[in-house]
Amino acid sequence: MDRVDEALEQAYRQLFGRLVGWLFRRTGDLQLAEDAVADAFASAVVAWRGKGIPDSPEAWLRVAARNSAMSALRRAARSVTVAPEDLELIPEDDVQPRELDDRLGLMLVCTHPAIDERMHAPLMLQAVLGVDAARIASAFLVSPATMGQRLSRTKTKIRDAGIRFALPPREQLTPRLDAVLQAVYGAYGIGDTVGGDGDADLRAEALRLSTLLTELLPDQAETWGLLALILHTRSRRTARVAHGAFVPLAQQDTALWSKPDRGRADAALRRAAALGQIGRFQLEAAISAIHSSRADGHDTDWDTIVVLYRGLLRIAPSVGATLGAAAALIEAGETTEAAALLDALAPEAVRDHQPYWICRAQVAQASNDDAAAHAAFDRAIGLTSDPALRRYLLSRR
């Protein structure tokens, strides 16, 4: 990758959401803001190759994005609260509190009560972090076309309803916080593929945002829970693949796990526990911490993990939580209960969900049903595109 490509990639990851938020505040049209920023980056590909990387990539992109937005507004002759000629580059501190950056501010805007709560996290992933609709669709178990249509409708509603860039009062932050946390964790998950490097920039941005949330809202336990979960997950990343094949958590070499990350994660989880507020991310982080304790010579306490999963299913039921609970129950010898959890899932929600079929195969193996295990593994392999995970599944098959 040459210097221009590196500069463009870094600028995209660091500045996309900030620029979109900056333009959205002035136009009230999220789609227009995204399109203008995308045009700015497209222009940068040509300009920076011909004239070199500017001294301030952000300033260059702001001017280009502003000009693109102004041109679009003039073409559409759209009435806006702020006239195009008033779209000036104003100092950051004149717009919002110093401690809250544009990306996090836009994430809070995306959780406006008038917006369908099912679209909060997908909208934030696209508008703030620049994740494309196809990757978002995969994370939320819908088709790319369906997700694209939903995102488009949501942005149209924001524009037509006149939802403005206005940060909610602090007392209204908590109800919106869960969607923000889900989006940040979703971003980390999308960037955290099993094989290869995945999207390191997206993972780094998710970690940066989760850290920022603990600084802005230190009295909210779930911000610390999310930070702990991301750090525990990151601590084991280098051990997940060996010799080109995926390595299950129970078989990973704990010497490869990052001790500093585990230490930070455990400290964050203790901070969350001290606040006395139980939530989804704390429970998931606690489960991850039990797995990580194997690096300190402890056996995996599957009974406690099952208890934590049962709590998670009560307060935040989801397909992912159900699959995790089923896998833990299998390890704890409760195969019948595990099968019942899987049977209760809606078929349309898991038909093309690869982790479901892996879990189905595990249940069948535990029940000594070889035919069902083979069929489930075949289905999982057919749904797997990651080479490292595919090699592992083929070996299990």
Report the Cα 258 to chain-centroid distance in Å: 21
Right CATH for 318-397 from 1.10.287, 1.25.40, 3.40.50, 1.20.58: 1.25.40
Predicted confidence (pLDDT) per residue in 184-200, tens digit: 998 898 888 876 677 88
Would you put residue 123 in left (φ > 0), alpha (ψ -120 to 50) or beta? alpha
Rounded to whole angstroms, the Cα distance separating 239 from 247 reads 7
Tell me: pLDDT of 88 over 70: no
* Claim: this prediction has a pTM higher than 0.85: no
pLDDT band for position 92 (cuts 50, 70, 90): very low
pLDDT given at position 362: 93
* pLDDT digits 0-9 by tens, 245-293: 889 999 999 999 999 999 999 999 999 999 999 999 999 999 999 999 9
On the question of pLDDT at 90 being above 60, the answer is: no
**Per-residue pLDDT tens for 280-291?**
999 999 999 999
Model pLDDT for residues 224-236, shown as the tens digit of each residue: 999 999 999 999 9
Return the percentage of the chain with pLDDT > 70, whole number.
92
- What number is the average pLDDT over the span 144-170? 84
pLDDT tier at 125 (50, 70, 90 boundaries)?
Answer: confident
Q: What is the rounded distance in angstroms from the CA atom of residue 183 to the CA atom of residue 189? A: 10
Nearest to 195 by CA among 61, 386, 333: 386
The pLDDT confidence band at residue 124, using thresholds 50, 70 and 90, is: confident
259 to 94, 198, 207, 210: CA distances (angstroms): 42, 22, 17, 20
The answer, yes or no, to whether residue 95 has pLDDT greater than 60, is no
Residue 240 in this model has a pLDDT that exceeds 50: yes
Residue 121: count of CB within 10 angstroms of its CB:
25
